[in-house]
Amino acid sequence: MTYIRILHQARVLGADSDGTISQSTELFLSTRLKIPSLPLDFKSGRTSVLGSTALGAVFVRFLLGKPEVQDSDALRTAIDQALALGRTSTLRGHEMGVDEVLYGRTGLLWALLQIDKADGEGQTRWEDDESLSTKKSILDISRVGIPKLCGVITQAGRDGATDFVKQHGSEDAMPLMWSWIDTFYSLGLMHGITGVLSVLLSNNLTRFHPKLLDEHGKEIAGTITGLCNIAMKSNGHLPMAVPRWPSEKARESSLVQICHGAPGLLILLAIAGLNEPFARRFYEPLWVEALHVASRKVWEQGILSKGGGLCHGIAGNAWALLMLHDTFEHALIPMECIGACREGVKKDLVKCGRLSGDWFLEMALAMLLECRNTRPFGDSEKYRLPDNPYSLFEGLAGTVCAWAEAALAIKAKLRKMEFEEKGIMSPSSTKAKEDLEILEARLGFPGIAVSIV
């Protein structure tokens, strides 16, 4: 998946004039890739493309423009299985939630949205008639599946919230809550509520589910407020779960990583800001205060000895700050939200009388530069070699994805500064088209974000 992303982004970046990146990437994809066709296995309700090798292969083959005929049936089966699941599923004696991003239905919903986007923006190139016909079938199945999956996930969130109150009372209860393990409800991005909500707030989901904000906007917003209250009570940290996960109570310091911790809340608050209709209706001053406090924790404690990866590494934490830069750069959060914040918050977020993403960009870039010292790219002994040193979520592949996203953000920023210096208020249609192409090439955090505009 990393190679497919980089191939697409290198073209838009214009940083590959001699064709080195494209040629080596094309060569890798054409000669070295052996994607297995394994039988689907949804034991324990794990229907995410990220947690299933067989389903992941279907997804990657589509992005490559080389789907196999049986892939459309595999995808249909996955969606049917996901829709038929209850709120939890039994695995090794535990009642496991079935909705998280990494293993659950939200990871499948993200993949369907990504499939639709990849086709619409020409990331995928189709090689023959047979793959073209399978492509049409996969797109149809995806487009029908998206609103249905959205419906079962939100209903599971409501039922989860009801059960939480029965199990634990109303303190820390939120309108939408998804189980993690038994009676614990995880809050993190890959495993918990912040991840599910981030995908539900994807910009392009609204197209499939036009009434999403009318039907669910209020409960999504109420849940975000609940998460922000929990983070503010925890001095900017986001606990692993409510109630507190036993091992976390014994921990000296809170986890600051994407899978569990404050960076997940930052990505959710960034995506909530990038969803313009949602931001205009629901964004609250408390959310701005929470993202400010939590981003300080990520800056102060987010250089992890675990390495430079996405899930529990420096690049994932930096990406959360990069997404906040996007949100403020596009100025989609209502000014009255900022106006109601403390002076210290306003000072960081408002430059020359307007919202600015620079404060977040500076922190994100510093952290991404530090990733150069992590293993296996660098050799600093401060950092542990991840268990899977080249993988997307733990290793160098994810770090490279983060660097490419940051490079696109910098390119967009430099163009904007150039226009400002030249006093160009509205660039020509050609320049505006190039700007849009750069924004659209931002492929978002794997498993979570589909589009930043």
Site residues for Zn ion per CB under 5 A: 259, 311-312
Give the separation between CA 141 and CA 202, rounded to whole angstroms. 19
186 vs 202 by CB, closer to Zn ion: 186
Min dist CB 312 to Zn ion, Å, is: 3
Shortest distance, CB of residue 259 to Zn ion, whole angstroms? 3
User: Shortest distance, CB of residue 78 to Zn ion, whole angstroms?
Assistant: 24
**How near is the Cβ of 372 to Zn ion at its closest, in Å?**
21
CB 127 within 8 A of CB 65: yes
Cα 260 from Cα 101, distance rounded (Å): 12
Nearer to Zn ion, 311 or 443 (CB): 311
**C-beta of 78 vs 311, nearer to Zn ion:** 311
| Closer by beta carbon to Zn ion, 241 or else 438 | 241
Cβ(195)–Cβ(106) under 8 Å? yes
Cβ of residue 172: shortest distance to Zn ion, in angstroms?
23
Whole-number Å distance between alpha carbons of 192 and 177: 9
Query: Which of 66, 312 has the CB closer to Zn ion?
Result: 312
Tokens linked to 444 = 């978002």
Shortest CA distance to 227 belongs to which of 217, 244, 214, 242? 242
Q: Which CB sits closer to Zn ion, 192 or 357?
A: 192
HSE toward the beta carbon, residue 282, CA cutoff 13 A: 22
CB of 27 to Zn ion, least distance (A): 31
**Long-range contacts: 154-157, Cβ < 8 Å, 24+?**
154/200, 154/215, 154/216, 154/219, 156/87, 156/98, 156/99, 156/105, 157/99, 157/196, 157/219, 157/223
HSE-up (13 A, CA, CB side) for residue 185? 28
